[in-house]
Structure 1
Amino acid sequence: MSPILDRAIAAQVDTVAADRRPGAHVGIVAPGGYGKTTLLQHLGTAVHAATGTEPVIALPPFDQVTDGVLLVDDAHQLDDADLRDLRRIATTTPVRLVVAARPWPRRGPVAELLDLVQDQLLLAPFDAAQVRAALPARLRTDRHAEFVHAQTGGVPAFVDRLARALDGELDVPTAALAGFHPELARLDESVLRFLLAAEAGVALNRDLLVDLLDTGPGATDISDVVEAARATGLVGTAGALVPIAQRAIRLLIPVERRAWIRQRLAELQLARGGPVLPLMRPLAGTGIGGDGAAAAFETAAAEALPTDPALAARLYAAAVTAGRAPVDVAARRAEALALAGDLDGALRLADQVITTDNAPDRRAAATVAAAALAHRGQLGRSAELYRWAGADHFAALGSIGVGELTEPVADDGPPTSLSSALSLMAQGMHESVVGRPMTALSTMVRAAATLEPVGRGVLLPDSPAALGALLALHYGELGTATSLLERATAAGTGGAPLATRHRLLLAWIAMARGDLTRAADGLAAARRAPSEPRDALFAVAIELGVARRAGDAAGLGRAWLQAGEAVLRHPVDLFTFLPLGELTVAAARVRDEGRVAAHLAEARALLARLGDPPLWAVPLWWGGLHAAIVAGQPDVAEEHAESMAKAAARDEQFGTVATAARCWLDVTAGTVDADAVEDAARGLQAAGFTWDAARLAGHAATRTADRTAMVRLLDCARVIQGKPVSTRRPSSDPEPAPEVSLSDRELQVAELVVSGLTYKDVGDRLFISAKTVEHHVARMRQRLGASSRSELLSQLRTLVGSGGVRE
């Protein structure tokens, strides 16, 4: 079969074949696998066709050849005497030589022979079109050609091997690698070492190769080995192995041989202070040992920690397997496990170090345990450990969380990005209790931005982004909260332990904005990771909140069953007031206030110890207000509204929730000022609390006897939710409009109907007959002026705050 040649080589072959001059010698030079033998035979055929001369494929000895065309293959393998004979024939007889050889080794006699050639054919790897032509007809597709070209580097012999073994799948079958075995077995030891170094990724590191190959300081010696390796065809021009050759080496060279080369390279690199992670990563599970391997594994683990803590943990374990004393790396291994999300493993190792008197890194182990305990809601114990370890910024954070205010500690070390971020975070938390909310939020935003470049590999009890988002949510700055969390998520701040927290807070923001679908999706994504008590508390609160806002009574009940365990597992701290406020409302809705009563009492006591900072108290006041309204406790609701009014006197930003609270109480009492309600709803919407805003307007619409006000407030609620307003308007008839307010029982029926329950199911829930439910629905349709069931359901969803229930 004719070789696949590009146009330039094909034209050169035709020219050379037609040349009849004696002594017009031809050289074919290329690495192994490039098709020299095939081209040599093709050229012989072309010579015969063009001149009628039958070329001779000659083998040593050559002393009897006197004329014609002599084809000589693999000239680089001939001994010096045979090469001298060929040179004599080329210079003293009319014989034309066509000599094929690899570019290396170019020892003297080979070079002298090739110096005589007048035409040299230099073969190159196949391009994509040539690869496609070399494939079987059934595999001549773009994706197969691209795959084979990428795997083989276009080396013709490798293309042929893969093409013969390929079964259609884009994978390299083992059968395609078997042909490399004899080639690898014939390699010189120094060339094989170079190839193993190339497989390890250090083929162009001259200093490492000098020591690995024991060739001495001369650059020529290294060049000889490199050129010999390239002449095999297994190595590309950049010193990297052709992918299929790399696969073959990994399959055919014993794993211990490859491991020893990598270990030796790592030891050499370690002595120079260079990175060893790329060399040691594949050896983590091989079980190699010795002091050098242990030191290399330990260094590689430290390199991996900022970007891949799970890998770092495996490398520290490999260091122990290699001979390092477990206690010597236990603290750093615990840190790696914690950053990877394995808090159980981290706590076990950290506790072992802390309780061993002569163990190194005891204080580092204490910070690991402290961070893990913070994620599990044990802020008091966390603060104690941080304080013992000298991590004063984190200790202050934990103390504030449990109601013990401490002054921020001045830094006495260099002002690194990390230390600056931690100092700002502590200052921001202190300011949130004793100072101005906006100053606290601004400080926390700066802390988050300062930490971003270095925060991926830092184990934190909480992130400035998460704490800043909490402050922003309490203060009605949802845009700031979203930005903080999205940037922290992109930067990977705090590793795996904080990734779930950031996702949950983003879901909370979506819920506050009334985007219940996004909130539910965010919750589902967050729950794919293991859940710590703090995250579990936020997760169940989001589930309750979504169900409540969707008017899903059944979902609310199911979520409440999970809430009990979440509440028990997490003690009260300052940073969980947001879910506690939601749990308070849910408890009132399911008539189980006793489950959260103790937590609410502890929360109030914690606030009192801190001087009742309004920024942190707002979620409890807001949740308490609505719980009291649901429970029919106007005096309690009034107390919460008064607290919000006092906060508004200190900071006008709190005026939004204070005004909305007062408006809600007035509406509940039967006083509906449409202007005041609409202003309050617009204020909540501007702060980002879209669902609460629409709910307030819808709630007021159910309580007014003025049809004009009802339609206006209903339209306000729908606009806030992003829905079209009703096209129906109240009649201009001067006669008094009938009363349109809905009773409490009718609101209960409305919530269950829009949740998708049948009249019978609604009746079973409320202990009334299905006929009575139908009667309530008919009265609501008449009062609201709905012309169809579809319009009625649409209006009821607005009135009861449903954002995503299907008709």
Structure 2
Amino acid sequence: MIATHSDIVLDDPTRELCAAVASGRLKPARLAIVAPGGYGKTAVLDQLALGCERGGVPTARFGEHDGAELVLVDDAHELAEPQLARLRELAENERTGLVIATRPWPRSADLNGALARLRGQLVLRPLDRQRVAALLGKERAGLAEFVHKQTGGVPGFVTRLATAIGEEPEIPARALAEFRPELDRLGQDTLLLLLAARAGSGLDADLLGGLLGRDHAGVADAVDAARATGLLAHDGALLPIAARALDALVPADRRLAVSQRLVRLQLRRAGPVLTLVRPLLGSGYTGTEAAAAFEAAAAEAADTDPALAARLLSAAVDAGRSPTAVGARWAEAAARTGDLDTALRLADQVIADPQAPERGQAALTAGTALVHRGQLARSAELYRWSATELSELYAVLCLVGTGRLDEARAVRLEPGSAQPPTLLSGAMSAMARGVLESVTGVASGALSTLVNAAEMLEPAGGSPLLPESPSALGALVGIHCGELEIAQALLERAIAAESGGRVLANRHRLLLAWIAMVRGDTELATQRLATVESDLTPRDWLFAVGLRAGLARRASDLAGLRTIWGEACEAVMRHRVDVFTLLPFGEFVVAAARLGDRDRLALHVRQAGELLHALGDPPLWSTPLHWSGLHAAIMAEQQAEAREHVAALASGADHSRYHAVVAEAAACWLNVLTGAVDPQRVEAAAKGLHGVGLWWDGARLAGQAAIRTTDRAAMVSLLDCARILQGRSSAGSATPGRTPALSERERQVAELVVAGMTYKQVGDRLFISAKTVEHHMARMRQRLGATSRSELLAQLRGILAEES
């Protein structure tokens, strides 16, 4: 049931004041009620009249007030001059009670004079959400937020909507129809101003002056008149329900004419048009003026909303603009939204047209889109054809990535005098230097340069279209040299700053997940991978599949790895090998060996080797691939190949501490394979791997060495080391008060076997042999008296459930 106005509109102090008037305690009552339309002035006067009648206070309406103690005046702003003069005379009689209700505008001299003689004011305010909910009643209280947002809490509009609304947050047509009398009573200028507000004009006095044909004073009067209706907020924005009412009740051609007039005025004065033009999308607005308006609006939206900019440029073409005239900007906007297909199609049209302007910019965009597609060689061609200083810097990335080091060195890295020293040019220059340093210098120097480039670019946010972000490159370098903390900080800051916009957001998240995987935190890596969008560019898809393969391998999930392998092969086919994608290729190399399908990647492995050789076999980029190759050789039982990788890793040991640690660990692996396990050396190597961020690799080295040693004391020590490096305690504890049915080790084995793992997978997870797992299972079966494997598994499930 809907509450009454007097229950809802008046706050407690105002209600008490009305009660004092009605009871005669406030005598003579001389009060003003000044509020815009819809605030309930008439309802309050009606409530006062009723209360005074009950309280015995003689009350009358203005014009029928002879002999009354209290005179009530409604809509004083609408009184004619003679009536206003009489009202002023009445107000000058201090013994007469008088309550005047009026809108803030218009205010004649006589009305101001009458109001000035009064002693107080009844204040009517918008309703808060709590009072809106009370007006709606319990059954529809859940619509209070919607009703309040649509009406701004204006009491009359709240009541209007509350009376008509059902159980869904929708504005019924009959609620909008009730605005027709109000709109019909509006003056021409007031209606025009409301339509202008609906079109997005705001309170621009010059723009409104051009529309209304008035000076600033006249515009101020029109704004006051519009606010007095209650439909226009103080900031010049229409209430949502008022905007809907205008759309429903004012003919579309009239609304469109006002919008077009505003756009025309704004174009003439070279003012911003985005707010005015956005509502015209899809309206059928065409012609030279429309095309210019859409194009100008797109320029305003380009930095902050590339998707909107692309829609506006499409509308400009629909309105008559040549596609190649705006194609370069349209292609860039599309690329920044991640729509690389559209970006490449549009850019290619511009490049192919000798008469098209901005061909160089189109080539820059096309080159960048192709980098995200993994076609660095073609990108380098486009960048160099573009022939801008920025595109030359981008070309360095592609030239290094494809092994063309001499060409990359020949590029001038410092911006020339013709290039303004912007944040973007400075950051890209530093990024190009960092890429070259990663191949020709030391890892720490390259990382420092890329960190500086990332920090320089941070304030630019997501506006520049980039082939790669300094943060992502810095993170790659950090992962390749064991500086995982720096890599993680770079990525987290890039995500917070939205560096590179949407097109690089997935890349930053994927690399952050990669860091978690390298550390052996598969749960965190999986969580981070889940934040990545499903619609990925080929480069991002390559990393996503590489992550999934790596996570499956670390979980000893052979079935999962087989499922992923088909996608991995497709990802490799779609993306040529380059320096910056060696991490996922390394994972695929190990997965191929684990699945016995090494021939599938033989060509790509050879290409990766040739690429690194062309760059001089830089240790920073080659070490992780050799490390993966070593493990692939171990799984394939190819000792000669394993020795080649160990030798390659040893040759780069002087590059940094990280490379020395990996080289020593590789040598230990080679010894472990031959059964020559030196426990102290293995433990030191495993801890070294853990120290440079390769937590899972360190634990696995210690665990596999423990399995292969014949010295029981060494085995125990190495297993304990493996557990510690993996974050596990070596000691189990029984539940107080009862004897567990399984030992700690038996419980670990049982959990994994019940979960569906093979003995080999369980052994890999627990750093024991498959034979030992089988031994544990046999002992549990004998002790529990199980007659079959299915019976044993059923009993183990019950025991584990009881102990959990």
TM-score range, shorter chain: 0.7 to 0.9
Q: Which residue of 2 aligns with 1:499?
A: 505
Q: Which residue of 2 aligns with 1:277?
A: 274
The answer as to 2:408 corresponding to 1:411 is no
Q: Which residue of 1 aligns with 2:326?
A: 329
Aligned pairs, number: 750
The answer as to 2:447 corresponding to 1:448 is no
**Within 5 A, what are the aligned runs for 1:607-756?**
607-726=612-731, 756=756
CA distance in 2, matches of 1:760, 1:417: 54
Q: Which residue of 2 aligns with 1:580?
A: 585
CA distance in 1, matches of 2:110, 2:732: 99
CA distance in 1, matches of 2:632, 2:111: 95
Q: Which residue of 1 aligns with 2:304?
A: 307
Q: Which residue of 2 aligns with 1:75?
A: 76
CA distance in 1, matches of 2:271, 2:15: 49
CA distance in 2, matches of 1:725, 1:655: 29
In 2, are the aligned partners of 1:234 and 1:242 still within 8 Å (CA)? yes
In 2, are the aligned partners of 1:135 and 1:163 still within 8 Å (CA)? yes
| Aligned residue type for 1:694 | A
Q: Which residue of 1 aligns with 2:396?
A: 396
User: 1:646-703: per-residue Cα shift (whole Å, max 9, x none)?
Assistant: 1013434310100110001100110111111111111111111111111101100110
Which stretch shifts more, 334-343 or 369-378?
A: 369-378
Deviation at 1:181, TM superposition (A): 2.2
Deviation at 1:74, TM superposition (A): 2.5
The DSSP-based 3-state class of the residue aligned with 1:55 is strand
User: 1:78-128: per-residue Cα shift (whole Å, max 9, x none)?
Assistant: 33344445567777999866543323212345445555x545544422443
| Aligned residue type for 1:102 | R
Deviation at 1:140, TM superposition (A): 8.4
User: 1:460-491: per-residue Cα shift (whole Å, max 9, x none)?
Assistant: 22221222221111111111221222222222
In 2, are the aligned partners of 1:162 and 1:176 still within 8 Å (CA)? yes
CA distance in 2, matches of 1:416, 1:26: 63
| Aligned residue type for 2:628 | G
User: 1:118-150: per-residue Cα shift (whole Å, max 9, x none)?
Assistant: 455444224438835861542585x65565445
| Aligned residue type for 1:411 | P
Pair 368,696 (structure 1): closer, same or farther in 2 beyond 3 Å: same
CA distance in 1, matches of 2:783, 2:728: 18
In 2, are the aligned partners of 1:393 and 1:422 still within 8 Å (CA)? yes
Pair 449,57 (structure 1): closer, same or farther in 2 beyond 3 Å: same
CA distance in 2, matches of 1:525, 1:94: 74
Deviation at 1:345, TM superposition (A): 0.7
For normalisation by structure 1, the TM-score amounts to 0.85
The DSSP-based 3-state class of the residue aligned with 2:462 is coil
CA distance in 2, matches of 1:111, 1:273: 41
CA distance in 2, matches of 1:492, 1:631: 43
CA distance in 1, matches of 2:360, 2:217: 53
Give % identity.
51
CA distance in 2, matches of 1:631, 1:130: 71
The DSSP-based 3-state class of the residue aligned with 2:101 is strand
Q: Which residue of 1 aligns with 2:538?
A: 533
The answer as to 2:218 corresponding to 1:212 is no
Which stretch shifts more, 103-112 or 471-480?
A: 103-112
In 2, are the aligned partners of 1:334 and 1:368 still within 8 Å (CA)? yes
| Aligned residue type for 2:648 | S
Which stretch shifts more, 250-259 or 592-601?
A: 250-259
**Within 5 A, what are the aligned runs for 1:518-597?**
518-526=524-532, 528-597=533-602
In 2, are the aligned partners of 1:16 and 1:119 still within 8 Å (CA)? no
In 2, are the aligned partners of 1:47 and 1:55 still within 8 Å (CA)? no
Of 1, 6, 14 in structure 2, the residue corresponding to residue 3 of structure 1 is 6
The DSSP-based 3-state class of the residue aligned with 2:6 is coil
| Aligned residue type for 1:340 | T
In 1, are the aligned partners of 2:127 and 2:155 still within 8 Å (CA)? no
Q: Which residue of 2 aligns with 1:457?
A: 463
Deviation at 1:706, TM superposition (A): 1.4
Q: Which residue of 2 aligns with 1:242?
A: 239
Which stretch shifts more, 197-206 or 394-403?
A: 197-206
Deviation at 1:638, TM superposition (A): 0.8
Q: Which residue of 2 aligns with 1:735?
A: none
The DSSP-based 3-state class of the residue aligned with 2:272 is coil
In 2, are the aligned partners of 1:48 and 1:55 still within 8 Å (CA)? no
In 1, are the aligned partners of 2:400 and 2:579 still within 8 Å (CA)? yes
Which stretch shifts more, 145-154 or 420-429?
A: 145-154
In 1, are the aligned partners of 2:197 and 2:237 still within 8 Å (CA)? yes
Pair 511,100 (structure 1): closer, same or farther in 2 beyond 3 Å: closer
In 2, are the aligned partners of 1:340 and 1:496 still within 8 Å (CA)? yes
CA distance in 2, matches of 1:368, 1:7: 64
In 1, are the aligned partners of 2:60 and 2:68 still within 8 Å (CA)? no
The DSSP-based 3-state class of the residue aligned with 2:177 is coil
In 2, are the aligned partners of 1:127 and 1:154 still within 8 Å (CA)? yes
Pair 559,238 (structure 1): closer, same or farther in 2 beyond 3 Å: closer
Of 476, 479, 503 in structure 1, the residue corresponding to residue 482 of structure 2 is 476
User: 1:733-791: per-residue Cα shift (whole Å, max 9, x none)?
Assistant: xxxxxxxxxxxxxxxx99996972478999xxxxxxxxxx998744477999x9999xx
| Aligned residue type for 1:647 | G
In 1, are the aligned partners of 2:88 and 2:111 still within 8 Å (CA)? no
Which stretch shifts more, 171-180 or 591-600?
A: 171-180
Of 483, 490, 511 in structure 1, the residue corresponding to residue 496 of structure 2 is 490
The DSSP-based 3-state class of the residue aligned with 2:468 is coil
CA distance in 2, matches of 1:378, 1:423: 22
In 2, are the aligned partners of 1:694 and 1:718 still within 8 Å (CA)? yes
User: 1:411-464: per-residue Cα shift (whole Å, max 9, x none)?
Assistant: 112221100111011101111111111101111111111112214122222221
User: 1:221-243: per-residue Cα shift (whole Å, max 9, x none)?
Assistant: 22211221122122333433334
The DSSP-based 3-state class of the residue aligned with 2:304 is coil
Structure 2 residues without counterparts, runs of 5 or longer: 734-748, 763-768, 786-803
Pair 112,717 (structure 1): closer, same or farther in 2 beyond 3 Å: same
Which stretch shifts more, 191-200 or 381-390?
A: 191-200
CA distance in 2, matches of 1:788, 1:652: 52
Of 512, 522, 528 in structure 1, the residue corresponding to residue 518 of structure 2 is 512
| Aligned residue type for 1:156 | P
Q: Which residue of 2 aligns with 1:100?
A: 101
CA distance in 2, matches of 1:202, 1:427: 48
CA distance in 2, matches of 1:309, 1:530: 18
**Within 5 A, what are the aligned runs for 1:96-175?**
98-111=99-112, 114=115, 117-119=117-119, 121-128=121-128, 131-132=131-132, 135-138=135-138, 148-169=147-168, 172-175=171-174
User: 1:277-326: per-residue Cα shift (whole Å, max 9, x none)?
Assistant: 33323332323123333223222222222222111111111222233222
Structure 1 residues without counterparts, runs of 5 or longer: 729-748, 763-772, 790-806
In 1, are the aligned partners of 2:20 and 2:26 still within 8 Å (CA)? no
CA distance in 2, matches of 1:201, 1:758: 66
Pair 182,85 (structure 1): closer, same or farther in 2 beyond 3 Å: same
Q: Which residue of 2 aligns with 1:422?
A: 428
Deviation at 1:13, TM superposition (A): 3.7
CA distance in 1, matches of 2:751, 2:625: 25
The answer as to 2:286 corresponding to 1:286 is no
CA distance in 2, matches of 1:776, 1:26: 95
Q: Which residue of 1 aligns with 2:189?
A: 190
CA distance in 1, matches of 2:695, 2:536: 29
In 2, are the aligned partners of 1:131 and 1:154 still within 8 Å (CA)? no
The DSSP-based 3-state class of the residue aligned with 1:100 is strand
Which stretch shifts more, 190-199 or 403-412?
A: 190-199
| Aligned residue type for 2:488 | T
